[in-house]
Amino acid sequence: MTTGVFRFALMSDDLTISLNEFRALLRKAFEGIYGHSRDWNALADLVLWLEYRGLDGLKMFFDAEPLLNRHSFKTDITYSEMETVIFGNGNSLFSLCLEAGDILISKARNQGVCVMQLNDFSDLEIITATVDRCVKNGLSAAAWWPDRNGQAAIAFQDQGEHEPSFYKIELPTGFESLSFGTIIADKSLKNIRERFPQWFSLLEKEKVTASEINNKYLAHLDNGYRINFVDYSHLSKLADRVLVEATEQSRKGAGE
């Protein structure tokens, strides 16, 4: 029998897994939560994108998990010709990031530009992944949001660039009480810079370049991903829901 001391040692160890192993585990975890009601492949890739660039994607997922388990949450969306405003009612942006990105990209493609305001969401840094997603869909994008230290963060990426650039900046004059995030998709980053010069005139602090972000990603590809045993076990338990539900259906004659 395993002793309590030995069990504690096992639980404290880290595991090193490959990108493919991590993606497969995340996909099964989201399938265990949602079944076929949401795109669990895209959600898994969102966590991977954030985590492999040092943006704590796994922690955001675990923090948002109680909300995700409810499968529904209240949001309010208002539209105008050039701007979309989404009210998150205190929820994590993780819960709506993919859908918000779909709206942003669709409107920008149809109209040439779309400005989206994200009110009353936590984990606003997730929109960095949406900036990258816009570029992969043939657009340029920029986003800014308040951080937890009374400053702001800004991420931007032009067409053809492989990774966003990321800065921490002082809040511009007139935005000292900023409480929401903004993301803009346009045909060119030049257009965004000209329309919102106050945000691009302060790029002088804690810059993380696109190449630095990409190097973090490449390091994970080369060395694997280190995950602690507790987090790995939790993901495995979520993934096990898929097997449990399939077994119960089989007993009812729904499958083999």
Closest CA to 143 of 105, 109, 191, 192: 192
113-127, 157-171, 241-255 — which is least confidently predicted? 241-255
Range of the domain at 173: 74-210
84 assigned to some structural domain: yes
> What is the residue type of 27?
R
DSSP for 79-145 reads E-SSEEEEE-TT-BGGGTHHHHHHHHHHHHHHHSEEEEEEES-B-GGGHHHHHHHHHHTT-EEEEEE
> What is the residue type of 141?
A
pLDDT of 70: 67
Q: Which two tokens stand for residue 147?
A: 């951080």
Give the CATH number of the domain where residue 112 resides. 3.30.1370
Give the tens place of pLDDT for each residue, 115-134. Answer: 999 999 989 999 999 999 99
Quote the number of domains for the chain.
1
| Sign of the Cα pseudo-torsion (213, 214, 219, 220, in order) | positive
251 assigned to some structural domain: no
For residue 13, CA distances in Å to 10, 22, 230, 253 come to: 5, 17, 9, 41
Q: Flag whether pLDDT at 209 surpasses 50.
A: yes
pLDDT of 71: 57
Round the average pLDDT of the chain to a whole number and report it. 81
Phi, psi (deg, nearest 5) at residue 111: -110, -10
Most confident of 9-23, 32-46, 139-153: 139-153
Helix axes 40-51, 57-70, angle to 10 degrees: 150
163 assigned to some structural domain: yes
pTM, two decimals, is 0.80
81 assigned to some structural domain: yes
164 assigned to some structural domain: yes
Give the tens place of pLDDT for each residue, 28-85. Answer: 998 888 777 678 889 999 999 998 888 889 998 998 888 776 656 677 889 887 789 9
5 assigned to some structural domain: no
CB hemisphere CA count around 191 (13 angstroms): 15
Strand duo 83-87 + 113-119: pairing? parallel
253 assigned to some structural domain: no
116 assigned to some structural domain: yes
Per the model's pLDDT, the better-predicted residue between 215 and 124 turns out to be 124
Give the tens place of pLDDT for each residue, 96-109. Answer: 899 999 999 999 99
